[in-house]
Amino acid sequence: MYFLTDNERKKLLKGYLPKSREQGVVDELRGWNWHQPPLEPIYEVRLPLYQIAGKYCPSGRDLYLNRVERRKSEPNIAMQQGLLFHDMIVKTLVYTKKLIYQQGTDAEAILVELASLITSFSGRLEQLSMKIPDIQNRAVQIFNYTYSYISCRFREVLARQPYIGEDSLAAQVVPFVLEQRLDGTFLGLSPNLSSDAFVFSEPMIMDLKFGPREPFHRLTTTGYALVMEAIFEYPINIGCIVYGEFKNDRLHIEKDFHIINDELRQWFIEERDEKMRMVYDEIDPGKADNCAETCPFYRCCF
């Protein structure tokens, strides 16, 4: 899901990266200026990034119910499916790296062992199949897609580099840092953040979604970019939302590349400050006019 096609790589290298350098970002909106306004946190509240970037509830009452009234959410079917698919992709990529370190450049042995990984998800798939009848087929498609890319990259890298070592091979076959743990406290966020994927060669923040596009999804990549700038003090200018969905029983993937510009950064800061104020002052924004029954807090939002 995270691998780029040749055309996507061209768009990134010849389009988005040069444009991001031309546009630039106001220095006060870079994460390394976390100690001064507007990035400096106003309230002594620590929020996970998903609660700032997730604007699924029109009024934001989901945050109030969770952080003020301490209500627990009930993940809907789409969330359960998305979590399973996300775990499957991450574990496949991480296990590939592990096998490389264990077995070196023996690509055939690694690929044979990797192919059996999908059986470790059979229990979760069986449980969800009662609610999502075609989830088994969807999971197989996602696994086969990821496996095929890994197989091709193995053969491409080994054909090009006959003397390559394990560490370099792992970095080229799976060129991502998966679920990188980040301390967001500089920006008033949780100390235990986890980004979906980060590409050091670009550099680029990637986030995986299963479901329809939403404009606020870009707040997630923006937030992680600010956190990484605060920690490592180098600029992150590009984000990418990877959307996976099934059309005509086939896996369809689209990537939303975007420049993490001043507008997105300001939007994230405003969302952070407003939601921190809601929790700090215990402000109940009230029930939204158009509540969806799929909302995780639907049963306790009166």
| CA separation for the pair 33, 41 (Å, rounded) | 11
The model's pTM is 0.94
Average pLDDT value over all residues in the chain: 94
- Cα separation of 128 and 106, whole Å? 36
> Does position 211 have pLDDT exceeding 90, yes or no?
no
Distance, in Å, from the CA atom of 79 to the CA atom of 294, rounded to the nearest integer, reads 10
Q: How far is CA 48 from CA 165, 193, 275, in A?
A: 38, 7, 11
Q: What is the pLDDT of residues 69-119, one digit of tens each?
A: 999 988 899 999 999 999 999 999 999 999 999 999 999 999 999 999 999
Q: What is the 3-state secondary structure (H, E, C) of 10-45?
A: HHHHHHHHHHHHHHCCCHHHCHHHCCCCCCCCCCCC
Contact 269, 227 (CB under 8 A): no
**Residues 260-283 pLDDT 10s:** 999 999 999 999 999 999 999 999
Place of tokens 């590939």: 96
Output the pLDDT for position 23.
87
- Ranges of H-type helices in 104-208: 107-115, 122-129, 135-160, 166-173
